[in-house]
C-alpha cells in the first residue's frame, strides 16, 4: 500500500434485487443517479435522470440513455459493464457537477471528492453511495426519430442529438452497510 492511500473503510453488502425497498422512479427522476463505466483510473461518470428498471429476458435489468456527445458515452460503449450509483440528497452538489461538467475538461473525482470503490468485478461505484448496482450490457439501440408516436421528440431533441439506449442485466445490487 502506498503511503497516504488507505483501503476503503466503507463496505457494501450485496443484496437481492427483491429486497430493495427504494422507489426507483423517485431515485432516477428526482434524486438522480451516476452512470459510471471503465476501470478504476480510466473511468468516467455522468449524472442521469432518465432510465428505468424492470424484468426482461428472464432477468432484472436497468436501462439508461446517453447522448453520443457525452464523454461517458465512449466509456459505456467500450466496456462490458456499467454501474449506477444512488446518493442521499446531501450529495446533490456532486451530482449537479457531474451532470454539468465534462470528464474531458475536469477530473470529476478530484473536483467533487467522490471516493471510488472497486467491486469484485473491477467496476467503480462510490463510497458515498447509499445504493449501487452493476449491470452487464446485453443490448443497445439508437433512438430512431421515425418511431416517435408523440410530439415529445421536438421538446427533447431540438438538435436531433438522439440518445443511445443501453439495457444491462443487473448482476449485483449493493447497499451501504450502516
Q: Can you give the length of the chain in residues?
A: 178
Q: What is the pTM of this model?
A: 0.89
Q: What is the pLDDT along the chain (178 residues), one digit of tens a residue?
A: 233 333 445 588 888 888 888 888 888 888 899 999 997 678 999 999 999 999 999 999 999 999 999 999 999 999 999 999 999 999 999 999 999 989 899 889 999 999 999 999 999 999 999 999 999 999 999 999 888 887 777 788 888 889 999 999 999 999 988 7
CA distance 31 to 123: 22
* pLDDT at 5 (0 to 100): 35
Assign domain 12-176 to its CATH superfamily. Electron Transport, Fmn-binding Protein; Chain A (2.30.110.10)
Amino acid at each position: 500500500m502506498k503511503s497516504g492511500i488507505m483501503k476503503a473503510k466503507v463496505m457494501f453488502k450485496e443484496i437481492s434485487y427483491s429486497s430493495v425497498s427504494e422507489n426507483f422512479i423517485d431515485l432516477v427522476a428526482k434524486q438522480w443517479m451516476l452512470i459510471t463505466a471503465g476501470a478504476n483510473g480510466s473511468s468516467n461518470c455522468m449524472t442521469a435522470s432518465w432510465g428505468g428498471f424492470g424484468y426482461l429476458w428472464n432477468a432484472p435489468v436497468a436501462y439508461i440513455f446517453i447522448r453520443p456527445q457525452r464523454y461517458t458515452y465512449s466509456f459505456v460503449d467500450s466496456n462490458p459493464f456499467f454501474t449506477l450509483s444512488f446518493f442521499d440528497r446531501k450529495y446533490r452538489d456532486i451530482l449537479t457537477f457531474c451532470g454539468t461538467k465534462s470528464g474531458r475538461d475536469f477530473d470529476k473525482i478530484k473536483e467533487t471528492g467522490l471516493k471510488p470503490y472497486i467491486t469484485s468485478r473491477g467496476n467503480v461505484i462510490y463510497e458515498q453511495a447509499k445504493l449501487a448496482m452493476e449491470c452487464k450490457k446485453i443490448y443497445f439501440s439508437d433512438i430512431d426519430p421515425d418511431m416517435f408516436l408523440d410530439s415529445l421528440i421536438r421538446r427533447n431533441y431540438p438538435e436531433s442529438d438522439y440518445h443511445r439506449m443501453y439495457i444491462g442485466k443487473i448482476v449485483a445490487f449493493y447497499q451501504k452497510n450502516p
